[in-house]
Amino acid sequence: MKEIFERISVRKYQDKSVEADKIEQILKAAMAAPSASNQQPWEFYVVTDKEKIRQLSKISPYAACAENAPLIIVPCYRTKGLRWNETVLLDLSAATENMLLEVTSLGLGGVWLCAAPLEERMTRTEAVLEIPADLRAFALIAVGYPAESRTQQNRFDENRVHYI
Ligand SMILES: Cc1cc2nc3c(=O)[nH]c(=O)nc-3n(C[C@H](O)[C@H](O)[C@H](O)COP(=O)(O)O)c2cc1C
């Protein structure tokens, strides 16, 4: 699948909005992900408000690149009524990777900016978005039309593979 090998973290964006149909396609990709017992613990905040984006870019020094993104999607997970609380970060990781691949496929660029499992970054994100108490913020996914490009590193290392 070519998107897997073309995806890079894009941290610079053109001054151009992401169309609503593309945002919906990214969210469909997220929700197509596998999850433990198909529990789908996710909720998604779609942030295009410039002031909220500015505030989110301050949740950590490593999120600063989000300041000029036209869009941040914040995947969150429910904390109540789940069958497998232990797997929520795995479930959300699968959804997040799906989003990044769909972003690439749509000609957009994005980057996964870490919140979970770092409590301070999660709490700051939840405060900015006024997220209900039974939801936890997982990550910031900054998205936009790319203003940078590069070839993906080839990270295949046959020494990491163990055939039995
Ligand atoms: C769990 C996770 C957390 C990350 N957090 C950050 C972050 O806080 N800030 C950032 O700029 N990039 C972050 N990244 C992006 C990585 O730095 C990036 O994926 C890595 O350097 C490999 O580069 P590539 O995505 O271009 O292949 C994160 C990636 C993952 C998977």
Comparing CA positions, the residue from 6, 5, 20 lying closest to residue 107 is 6
Comparing CA positions, the residue from 138, 135, 95 lying closest to residue 115 is 138
Q: What is residue 61's predicted lDDT score, i.e. its pLDDT?
A: 98
Q: How many domains does the chain have?
A: 1
Binding site membership of 100 for ligand 1 (Cβ less than 6 Å) = no
| Distance of CA 43 from the midpoint of ligand 1 (Å) | 21
Residue 150 lies in a domain: no
Task: State pLDDT tens for residues 127-157.
Answer: 999 999 999 999 999 999 999 999 999 999 9
Residue 10 lies in a domain: no
Residue range of the domain that includes 119: 16-145
Residue 160 lies in a domain: no
| Distance of CA 88 from the midpoint of ligand 1 (Å) | 19
Q: What is the CATH number of the domain that holds 26?
A: 3.40.109.10
pLDDT, average across residues 44-62: 98
Token pair recorded at residue 108: 């957009």
140 close to 60: Cβ distance less than 8 angstroms: no
Q: What is residue 159's predicted lDDT score, i.e. its pLDDT?
A: 98
Residue 164 lies in a domain: no
Q: Whose CA is nearest to atom 7 of ligand 1?
A: 113
Residue 123 lies in a domain: yes
Residue 151 lies in a domain: no
Residue 136 lies in a domain: yes
Residue 51 lies in a domain: yes
45 close to 27: Cβ distance less than 8 angstroms: no
